[in-house]
Structure 1
Amino acid sequence: MTNPATPASTSTVRALLFESDQRSREVAHSELQAYAPVPDDRLLWVDVVRSNGLPETMARLGADPERLEPGSAGELGMAVQGEWKYLHVRALNWHSGNRPNEVPVVFGVGPNIVLTVHREPVDFISGVLDNEADHLRVGRLEAISFATTLMDRMLTDYLDARDAFETRLDRLELLILRRPRPEHLSELQALRHLASRLRRHLASQRDLFDALGRPDFDPRQSESAENHCRLVSARYSRVMQAIEAARELVNGSFDLYTSRTAESTNEAVYTLTVVTVAMGLAATLAGVLGMNFQAPLFDTGATGFYITASVIGAVLLVSGLWAAWRLRRSRR
């Protein structure tokens, strides 16, 4: 009788068996138990996309289902239980849109077995399963070495997201150089938030990747596996620096926006100042002619009036046309 308190498993399972110097082959979920324990010249990778519960096969392979739950490894993102290690990371899905989506992924690393468990499809795992698995020759790799290889691939997605971010920023800067608009400031704010979000996702995994690079992570593992762990730890540091630099790029673009806005304001003020001076000259001329004194000009009658009005009108017309030309050029 099924215990009603135990949720039924609703999962999609894909398993690949890597043999020494041979192409990988897919293993049916129902046949997994027949391959345990996995010999040293083979490596079994089982990927589980689950919405509720875990397949019983995970326990039969030797893993602890409770350790494969997100958040079960504590603040370090890592737990060791017997021969199994449980590593909790946060992958990045961003190819479907400009807003990155964080997906928790749990790595269960046992004797020649690697389990990856997550609640929704993950871009980098789907890419490896669909496009790269046929070309991999990793049968002789230790399980932890293969797990760090997958984690290294996960870090590449962060760099890809950073490149897409930089492309958006470059296009925005070209528009700002042409003519800054208020909506550009809103987009800069969105990019600043995106850069902070990427950094927050990656920084939350610092303890795990730092632990991988320490010699006390697993003293029992081989020198080759230890070297792989140190390499992925060092790669994490470089990717973290690249993500942090993205925020500085936004700050530079904001400085560019404020400089171009100030330049446009200065041009408008300069134009209005010239027009104001021209109008002041016209007003001065009219004021002088309105003074109460006798001059030959006043004896010309209507002819003198038309000449004076024409001069004042010409000054105002020329200054107005010049101001309109300047303002129109600054808006291009």
Structure 2
Amino acid sequence: MIRTFLYDAQGHDQEMDLGAELPKLEEHHLLWIDVTGREPADFERLASLLDLKPRSVSDLVESGRRFSLANYGAYIQFDVATLESREATAGAPSVIRSQRLDVALGQGWVLTAHENPLRFLEEFRDQDRGETLIGGLTSAALAASLLDWHLATYLAALEVVEAFADRVDLRMLSSSRVREDLLKDLVGARRHISSLRRSLASQSSIFYGLSRPDLALTADASAVEGYKDLERRFERVLDSLEHGRELVQSSFDLFTTRTAETTNALIRRLTFISILLGALGGVAGVFGMNFETPYAKTGLMGFWAVVGAFLVLGGGAALIGRARKWI
């Protein structure tokens, strides 16, 4: 499906049907063609309208991942890995799903192509509540804006991880016993943040390459500074993802600490009970020795007196242990 948007800085922005020829583009016009799906017929039609090279068309039709930045003289073309939007859940973040977004930009036009609808592209268009001055931008500047929104999707995914880590930390700190299934959730979060970082880091050649002097001559020399800003933002997002990984690691450290505390508390209780039972057993052994003593002749009354003494001593020891937090 092909959707075409014509931005006019001196007139009306509009979504239009793409005809047999491109509309006449002046300095205050900017044409954005957004293609959903990779139907060869759509790109063959666009090739004739935008004068796309055969290699360029074949790259757009293919569904594999390349992360390449190509200079075709009249236009440049590159691709990035975008995150598929998924509903947030209360559990651990799952492994990310991404798809390829191809971007081509020439004089007065921008072409984007993707397999499935992308929410951040829709949100970019929906932010316009009236007539805009986007038509006054160059194609390189619009592409930089779209890439900035693309980076924002990684920050949004990072927020999911941070919220999960906060929930896990709160549960571990507020509970006297750590549930073992939290480890599985932490492993899932670690896998999620690692996938995010690998996905974004693999696109470094695109973000660093867009500000190269040879591409600046093809795209727009005035957009070089914007691409340098985009490069710095890319590095900040990458650093944020690294911080997210450290955040998950700190939650794992807290989990191991709380597990160790639970184990120590259990051992402390078992040690106290063992000492108490051992002491009572020793006293009982003394009374059971085979010697003629006055106690041995007290009969049933003496038996219950010893049992009562054991109960009093055991209860007193338990109270002292509880007060000192031994049990």
Measured against the shorter chain, the TM-score band is 0.7 to 0.9
| Partner residue, 1:286 | 284
Moved more, 84-93 or 297-306: 297-306
Residues 185-194 or 212-221, more deviating: 212-221
Whole-angstrom CA distance in 1 between matches of 2:149 and 2:269: 56
Decide which of 217, 226, 244 is 1:219's aligned counterpart. 217
Q: Does 1:124 align with 2:116?
A: no
- CA gap 1:322/1:27 in 2 versus in 1, 3 angstroms: farther
SS in 2 for 1:219: helix
Secondary structure, counterpart of 2:19 in structure 1: helix
- Given the superposition, is the C-alpha separation of residues 251 and 150 from structure 1 closer, same or farther in structure 2, using an over 3 Å criterion? same
Kept after mapping to 1: 8 A contact 2:32/2:110: yes
Equivalent residue, structure 2, for 1:63:
52
Unaligned runs of 5+ in 1: 1-11
- Greater RCO, CA 8 A, separation 6+: 2
Cα 1:42–1:272 shift into 2, 3 Å: same
Q: 1:252-291 counterparts in 2 under 5 A? A: 252-291=250-289
Identity %: 30
How many angstroms apart in 2 are the aligned matches of 1:323 and 1:14?
A: 75
SS in 1 for 2:26: coil
Taking the aligned partners of 1:89 and 1:277, their CA distance within structure 2 comes to 66
Number of equivalent positions: 315
Mapping for residues 148-227 of structure 1, pairs under 5 Å: 148-177=144-173, 178=175, 179-219=177-217, 221-227=219-225
Distance 1:132 1:212, change over 3 A: same
Letter in 2 for 1:26: E
> 2:7 is matched with which residue?
18
Q: Residue 41 of structure 1 corresponds to which residue in structure 2?
A: 28
Amino acid at match of 1:305: F
Q: 2:231, 2:10 → 1: CA distance?
A: 28
What is the alpha-carbon distance in structure 1 between the residues aligned to residue 39 and residue 319 of structure 2?
72
CA distance 1:303–1:34, change in 2 (3 Å): closer
Cα deviation for residue 272 of structure 1 reads: 1.2
Q: Give the deviation of 1:266 after TM superposition.
A: 0.8
Residues of 2 paired with 1:319 and 1:63: CA distance? 87
Task: Give TM-score scaled by structure 2 length.
Answer: 0.87
User: What residue number does 1:92 align with?
Assistant: 83
| Whole-angstrom CA distance in 2 between matches of 1:48 and 1:76 | 19
Q: CA RMSD in A?
A: 2.8
Contact 1:78/1:86 (8 A) holds in 2: yes
TM-score relative to the length of structure 1: 0.85
Structure 2: unaligned runs, 5 residues or longer: none
